[in-house]
Amino acid sequence: MAGVILAAGGWSGLVWLVTHTLPTVPNRWMFFALLHAATTGTALPFVYYLHILFGRKDRPQVGSVVLVRQAMWVGLFVTTCAWLLIPRLLSILVALVLAGALITIEALLRLREMTRWRPE
């Protein structure tokens, strides 16, 4: 439910911002904030579905904090790619390196959480 609210607010805010304002500096920052919210909210159900689809049965389900954090990584990736498009710095290699860095950070965070998990 939170993902739907976040996505609806972000996408509707983006539509309003693009159609009713001029691209000044504060509006650009608002664009990136709304884009992050919209993509995070949109990615949340997909992240949840991927955890159901590929989750291991011998471990407990991941918490909502992990789901939101992973959806926020998707939002950060999309927002950073949009930001890199402005000076024409985005290429496939840059996007792959950025995605690899974010995946590595999340993998290390999950590894840290798994070392604290003890089966009963």
Every domain of the chain and the residues it spans: 2-116
Mind listing the pLDDT tens digit of every residue in the chain (120 residues)?
889 999 999 999 999 999 999 999 999 999 999 999 999 999 999 999 999 898 877 777 788 999 999 999 999 999 999 999 999 999 999 999 999 999 999 999 999 988 886 665
Q: Which residues of 11-49 are buried (b: 16+ CB within 10 A; e: fewer)?
A: bebbeebeeeeeeeeeeeeebeebbbbbbbbbbbeebbe
Rounded distance between C-alpha atoms, residue 41 and residue 68, angstroms: 9
- Could you count the other beta carbons within 10 Å of the beta carbon of residue 1? 6
